[in-house]
Structure 1
Amino acid sequence: MLPSEQFDSTRVQNESKGIQNGDDEWDGTDIGLFGSNTGFFEAQGSAAELGYALSENEIHRQIQDFKEFCNDLYVDVVSPPFQSCDDDEIRTILGISSQSSEQIEVEQEGSYVLMERSFELLRRHGGKRLRSDGEKSNADSQTETTHSRGLMMSTEKIIELATENFIQSMSKSKEISLVRHPYPSSMTLARSADDLKAVQLVHNLLLSAEKVDEKKYERARKLLEECDRMSSSAGTPIQRLVFYFTEALYEKMDRETGSISPRGMGKKILHSLEDLQRTNRFRLSLHKNQPLSQIAQFAGMQTVIEHVAEARKVHVIDLGIRSGLQCTILMQALAARQERHVQHLRITAVGTRSRPTIEKTGRQLMAFAESLNLNFSFHIVMVTDILDLNERLFELDADEAVAVYSAYTLMYMIGQADWLEHIMRVIKSIRPCVMIVTELEANTNSPAFVRRFVEALFFYGVFFDSTAECLKNDERIRKEGESTCFSSSIRDIVAAEESERKIRHVRLNVWRAFFARFGLAEVELGMSSLYQANLVRQGFPSGGSCTLGMNGKCLTIGWKGTPLCTVSAWKFLRDSDV
C-alpha cells in the first residue's frame, strides 16, 4: 500500500523522460462508458504498461492542448453569472417530465420465462421513455413521421418490433396471451423492405441467443451464419449492432464448448499503442460531438460548486479522475468567484494502477490552475487493493469542505461486493458535504443470460443510433470506436459469466437501495445544475435529440426519449449508524 502523496509538478517534470505513457494526444473524454478507467477499473492495455515515453516538448504540447481545449469548451458556459429561474420555468426550459423508478427482478431461465420476461421488458421500456422537446407521445405517430420522410426506423423501434415478432412466433406453441403487449404487429409498422429486413435480422439474433441459452449450439451457429450474411460492421446502425452482438454470441459458445471460431475467441483483439490511439480518438470525438458526457459533467460539478459556496478551502476526492476534464469546470468556477475567494483547492485522485496516467492528469491540471492563478494542489492516493483504502490516506483538513465525485466508477466494483461495501464505509467516515454519482441507466448485471442480452441490445442500440447521428461527419472515427470500445464491452456483457464479467450496470433504483444501507440521503439537484445542463445541450447540433428528465431528485440524460445515464447527489444522515 502506497501512502497519500502531494503531487510535485517540478519533480515529475524533471523526471518526464522516465515517465512511461503511451498516449500521443490528450485523451479529452471522461465519458467512462466503455471500460476506460485509470482508477479502480483495470483498463485494458493501459499506456503505462506499453513502455512508451514522452519528451518534455511533448508534455508541454499536451498541456497547451489541454488548456486550449478546456477554454474552448467551458469558458463561455461557466463564466456568466447564473440567472435564477423558478422550478416551473426551468422545467419548461428543459422539457422535463417525471419518471418513476422501476423494480428489476431476476427471473429463472427458459424459453417460456424468456417470453414472459420480454413482455415485461418491453412494457417497462415503453413506459420509461422521456419526452424530448416537441416529441410525440404516440409511437405510431412517430413511425408514420419516419416513413413520410423516407427514413429507416430507429434502432430502438426495430428492436422493439423484432422482439414482438419473436414473442408472437414463440407464443403460438406456448399459448401465451398477447393482451398486455403494447406494440402492434411489426408487419403493420415496418412498411419498407429495409425495415422488414432489419426486423428479421434482430429476430434471428434473438432466436440465436435463445438457442445459445438452451445450449443448442449447432442450431445457434446456423442462425448466426444468417446474421453474418445480413449484418456488417460498415452497414446501418442496426446491421452494425447485430454484427457485434453476433461476435459476442460466437465467443460465448466458444467459451462454453472449448472451441475457437474466427468470429469468437479466434478473433485476436490487440492492445497495441495503435489500438489505444484509435480508442482515444473515438472517445475524444464522442465527447466533443455527443452531449451526454459534458451534460453529466456540468450538472455534477455545478452541484459540487453549490455545496462548497461558503468554503474557503475545497477538497474534491475523485474516485476515477481519468483526464480530469470535469475538474476544470470546478477550477474555473472557483477562480471566477468574486465573493468568498477560495484560498486553496485540493483534488485527490484515487487509483489502484496506471499511476503514470494519473500523474499526467495532475500535470495538466497544475498547468491549468496556474493559468487561472488558482492556489491548487493535486494529490494521489494509490493502493494496490481497494480494501487497503482508509480515510487517513486523504490527510483531511478540518477547515476543508470535502466533496466526493464518482463518475462511472462504482459500476466496476459491482462484481466485487466487498469492494463496494468497503469504499462506502471509507466515504462515510470522511463525511463529505456532498457525493456526486454518475452512472449508466442500464441493467446488464442479471445472472440470467437472456435478460442480460436483451437489456444490452436495447441499451447499445440507442448508443449506435447516437453515434450514427453525432459522428456522421467522421465515419472513420465512428467505425474505429465501435470496433474497439463497443465491441469489447458487448463481448464482456454477453460472453463472460460470473467473476469473468467486468462490465456491469444497474439502474438508479438499485443504487438507491444500496446507498440507503449506509445512511445516504438523496439531495435534489439545484436549478443552476439543471440550467447548466440545458445550456450544454443547446450548444450541440444534436442537442435536440438529447433528452433531460427527472427520476425523483436525480437528473436523467437520454437519447430521443430513452434514459442512458443519471446524475445524482447524496448526503450522509447524521444519525445514521450503519
Structure 2
Amino acid sequence: MMDPTLDYISRYLLEEEIEELNINAHKDEAALQDIEKPFYEILGQKYPPTPNEQLVCSSQLESDLSSSSSSSLKSESSNNDTLVGSLPVMEFHKGIEEGMKFLPTINNLATDCKEKIISADPSEVKYENSAWYKLAEKDDFGMMSRPRIRKYSIGRDLDILEGRNSKISMVDSEEPVRDDVYDEVLLDHGDHWLKGEIWSLREALQLEASSGVRKEIQGDHELYTLLIHCSEAVAIYDQQRARELLNKIRIKSSPDGNGIQRLACVLADALEARLAGVGSEYFRRLIAKRVKFPYTYFLKGYHMFIRAVPLIRVYLCFSNRNILNVTRNARKVHVIDLGTKLGFQWPSLIQAISKREGGPPKLRITCIDLPEPGFHPAKRIENVGQRLREYARSFNVPFEYKGIASQWESIHIEELTINDDEVVIVSSLSGLSRVKDETFSMDSPRDRVLQLIRQIKPQIFIQAEPNRSYSSFFPTRFRQVLSTYAACYDLVDSTIPRKDKERKLLENVYFVPAIINSVACEGSDLKEKPETLKQWQRRNLRACFEQLPVNPDIVKECKNLVRDGYDNRYFVQEDDNWLLQGWKGRVLSGVTAWKPKLDEGC
C-alpha cells in the first residue's frame, strides 16, 4: 500500500505537469482566439470584446457552465450592472480556488488530522475523520453523548488552547475549601457509618439483579476476540480491516452494559484515535478538560470508590498506621508526598494525629506532583494546601505546607528543606509508575527519584503500586491493558449497579485516562510505565533500600476492614513483605514499606 503522504506528493507533482501542459497549449494566441470565439457567439456578443466585456463574459461563462439549468440566458444589458458589481467578489473566490489546488485533503493525506465539513447545512455536519468526530461529540467527562456541532483545529498550538480553556473556566477559587461533603468523605467517622453505605450499595445491586437489569448478554468472549484482532489490525495500519472490526465492537459494546462492554467502548475510542494518528492529541485534550473539573467531580468518584472497593481504604490504613507508629514520640513530623493528586489521603491523618497522647506534633507536609496543563500549573496543588491548612486549624494541629509542581526527577534535595530535628516520611501511593524508566533514558529518571529518596534519609518510605507491566510492543501492551482493566471493570461491575450515575464518575477518574494513554499514545507520550511488584522489589533493593516486614496488627486490621461488607471475592494478604490486594485470585496491587540502607557500600 502506498504511503498516503507519497501518494499526495505524486498527485501534487502531476498537477504541476498538467498546469504546464495547459500553459504551453495556450501560448499560441491564434489558437487561443479560435477557442474563445465560439463561446462569445453563443452569448450573443461581439468578438474580440472590450476589457470590461471580457471580464463580464468570463464570469458569465463560468456561472453558466456550472449551472444545470436549461433556461435561456438573460439579455446582456440587464445583467451587466450586477456582474460588474460582483467582480471583486468573483476575483476573490477565483483566487481561493487557485490556492486550494496546492492544499492536501484528509482523504489523501492521513497525517493531516483537521476535520473537513462536508455539508453547509448545520443539521448535516459530518467529519471526514470519524475518530475526531467522536472526540467532538464527547461530553466534558469523556463519555459519549449526543452529537454536538463543534469545530476543532488540531493545527493550533494545543498548549495555548489548553491555557485559554483553563483561564476561562477555572472555578477552583469559587469552590469551598472545606464543607460537610468533604468531611463526610475524607474524615474517619468509624466503621459503622461506612458499613451502612456499603450495605446500601449492595442492596441496590441485589435489587437491580432481581429486576433483570443485570441479565448477562452472550458474546463477551467474542468481544474479547474482536478487540484483540482489531488491535492487531491497528498495529499494522490495516485501516479497512480495523474499521470493520471497530464497527462490530461498537455494536456489541455499551457504555451502560457489563464490565467488558463498558471497557470495549473506551478501548474502541482509543484504537480509533490511534488509527487516525490523533491519539496523543486526544489524550492531551482529555487531560486539559480535567483541569477545569470542580473538585466535587473527583470527590464523588473517590466516594464511590471507597464505598465499592476497599483498595484505597487499605492503602490509607497501612499508610496512616505506619506513620503513627514511626512518629509516636516525635515533636516534628515532615511528610513528603510524591504524586499527591488531590491530597484526599491527608485529612484523615491530620484527624488521627490530633488525638495523640501528649498533644499533636508540628506537622509539615510537602506535596509534589506534575504540573497541570494551562496557565496555572500549580493551581491544584496550591488548593490542596489551602484545604489541608483548614483541616489542621480545625483539629488544632500545628501545620506547615509546601507544594511543588515539577517533574520528580528534576527536584533537588535543597528544595525540600529537610531539618535534622524532624522525623521524615516519604509516601508514594501509585505514583512512581508515572516516572520514566530506562527505556526512555539511559540515566533512568525512576532510579534518580529513588536516589533522591535515599538522600532524604526518611524514617520510612511507603510505596504502593499496581501489579502490572506493559510491553513497548503495542500488540502485547494492548493485551496487557485489556487483561488488567477487564479485571478492574469486572470488580466494579460486581459491586456497583449499572445504572448508578456515580459509577461513570469512578470509571472516568480512575480508569479511562490511563486506558486512553496506554492504547492511543506511543513513545514519550506514554505517561505510565508500570512494573510488577517483583520488579519494583528488585529495583529498590538495587537502589540500596531495605524492605521492612509488614506489621501483623496492620494486616489484621486491613483484613477486618475488607470483611465488613465488601464482596468476599476481594482479598487482602501478606506475602514477601508486601500487603497484597486482589480480585478473584488475581493480585491487583500491593503496598509496602522501605528504609534506606546507610551502609558505606551503598
TM-score bracket, normalised by the shorter chain, equals 0.5 to 0.7
> 8 Å contact 2:283–2:513 — kept in the other structure?
no
> 8 Å contact 1:431–1:572 — kept in the other structure?
yes
Which residue of 2 is the match for residue 307 of structure 1? 326
| Aligned partner (choices 243, 247, 262) of residue 221 of structure 1 | 243
3-state SS of 1:529 partner:
helix
3-state SS of 1:471 partner:
coil
Aligned partners of 2:511 and 2:172: how far apart in 1?
A: 29
| Aligned partner (choices 383, 393, 412) of residue 370 of structure 1 | 393
Query: Structure 2: which amino acid aligns with 1:407?
Result: L
Aligned ranges 1:277-288 → 2 under 5 Å: 278=297, 280-288=299-307
Answer yes or no: is 1:348 the counterpart of 2:371. no
| Aligned partner (choices 434, 439, 449) of residue 423 of structure 1 | 449
1:468-523 Cα distance to aligned partner (Å, 9 max, x none):
23331762222354357533321211121111111232111111122122201111
Aligned ranges 1:169-318 → 2 under 5 Å: 194-195=217-218, 197-255=219-277, 269=286, 271=289, 273=292, 278=297, 280-318=299-337
Residue 388 of structure 1, CA deviation: 4.0
Residue 217 of structure 1, CA deviation: 3.4
| Aligned partner (choices 455, 458, 461) of residue 483 of structure 2 | 458
Answer yes or no: is 1:401 the counterpart of 2:423. yes
Residue 554 of structure 1, CA deviation: 0.5
Aligned ranges 1:54-93 → 2 under 5 Å: 58-59=175-176, 62-73=178-189
Residue 534 of structure 1, CA deviation: 2.3
Aligned partners of 1:268 and 1:283: how far apart in 2?
A: 22
Residue 249 of structure 1, CA deviation: 1.8
Answer yes or no: is 1:359 the counterpart of 2:382. yes
Residue 305 of structure 1, CA deviation: 2.0
3-state SS of 1:544 partner:
coil
Query: Structure 2: which amino acid aligns with 1:220?
Result: A
Which residue of 2 is the match for residue 512 of structure 1? 537
CA 1:50–1:486 in structure 2 vs 1: closer, same or farther (change >3 Å)? farther
Residue 413 of structure 1, CA deviation: 0.6
Query: Structure 2: which amino acid aligns with 1:71?
Result: L
Which residue of 1 is the match for residue 170 of structure 2? 52
> 8 Å contact 1:67–1:368 — kept in the other structure?
no
Aligned partners of 1:396 and 1:575: how far apart in 2?
A: 21
> 8 Å contact 2:172–2:294 — kept in the other structure?
no
> 8 Å contact 1:292–1:546 — kept in the other structure?
no
Normalising to structure 2: TM-score of the pair? 0.62
> 8 Å contact 1:233–1:240 — kept in the other structure?
yes
> 8 Å contact 2:366–2:401 — kept in the other structure?
yes
Query: Structure 1: which amino acid aligns with 2:481?
Result: A
Query: Structure 2: which amino acid aligns with 1:348?
Result: T
| Aligned partner (choices 497, 500, 520) of residue 475 of structure 1 | 500
Aligned partners of 2:378 and 2:355: how far apart in 1?
A: 31
> 8 Å contact 1:311–1:342 — kept in the other structure?
no
Residue 313 of structure 1, CA deviation: 1.9
Q: Which moved more, 1:522-531 or 1:543-552?
A: 543-552
Query: Structure 2: which amino acid aligns with 1:505?
Result: P
Q: Which moved more, 1:363-372 or 1:278-287?
A: 278-287
Residue 59 of structure 1, CA deviation: 3.0
> 8 Å contact 2:249–2:268 — kept in the other structure?
yes
Aligned partners of 1:527 and 1:469: how far apart in 2?
A: 29
Query: Structure 2: which amino acid aligns with 1:319?
Result: L
CA 1:432–1:210 in structure 2 vs 1: closer, same or farther (change >3 Å)? same
> 8 Å contact 1:63–1:363 — kept in the other structure?
no
3-state SS of 2:568 partner:
helix
Query: Structure 2: which amino acid aligns with 1:247?
Result: D
Query: Structure 1: which amino acid aligns with 2:231?
Result: A
1:411-435 Cα distance to aligned partner (Å, 9 max, x none):
1113565432322222111110110
> 8 Å contact 1:425–1:518 — kept in the other structure?
yes
Aligned partners of 2:237 and 2:576: how far apart in 1?
A: 41
Aligned partners of 1:49 and 1:533: how far apart in 2?
A: 43
Answer yes or no: is 1:571 the counterpart of 2:589. no
CA 1:507–1:235 in structure 2 vs 1: closer, same or farther (change >3 Å)? same
Aligned partners of 1:426 and 1:72: how far apart in 2?
A: 33
CA 1:388–1:234 in structure 2 vs 1: closer, same or farther (change >3 Å)? closer
Which residue of 1 is the match for residue 354 of structure 2? 335
3-state SS of 2:342 partner:
coil
Aligned partners of 2:217 and 2:184: how far apart in 1?
A: 45
Answer yes or no: is 1:441 the counterpart of 2:464. no
Residue 336 of structure 1, CA deviation: 1.9
Aligned partners of 1:492 and 1:259: how far apart in 2?
A: 8
> 8 Å contact 2:263–2:489 — kept in the other structure?
yes
Residue 570 of structure 1, CA deviation: 0.5
Q: Which runs of 5+ in 1 are unaligned?
A: 1-41, 79-148, 155-191
> 8 Å contact 2:447–2:543 — kept in the other structure?
no
Aligned partners of 2:384 and 2:463: how far apart in 1?
A: 21
Answer yes or no: is 1:490 the counterpart of 2:515. yes
Residue 566 of structure 1, CA deviation: 1.0
Aligned partners of 1:485 and 1:335: how far apart in 2?
A: 31
Query: Structure 1: which amino acid aligns with 2:241?
Result: R
CA 1:59–1:268 in structure 2 vs 1: closer, same or farther (change >3 Å)? closer
> 8 Å contact 1:45–1:276 — kept in the other structure?
no
3-state SS of 2:427 partner:
strand
- The count of corresponding residues between Structure 1 and Structure 2 is 416
CA 1:357–1:473 in structure 2 vs 1: closer, same or farther (change >3 Å)? same
3-state SS of 1:325 partner:
coil
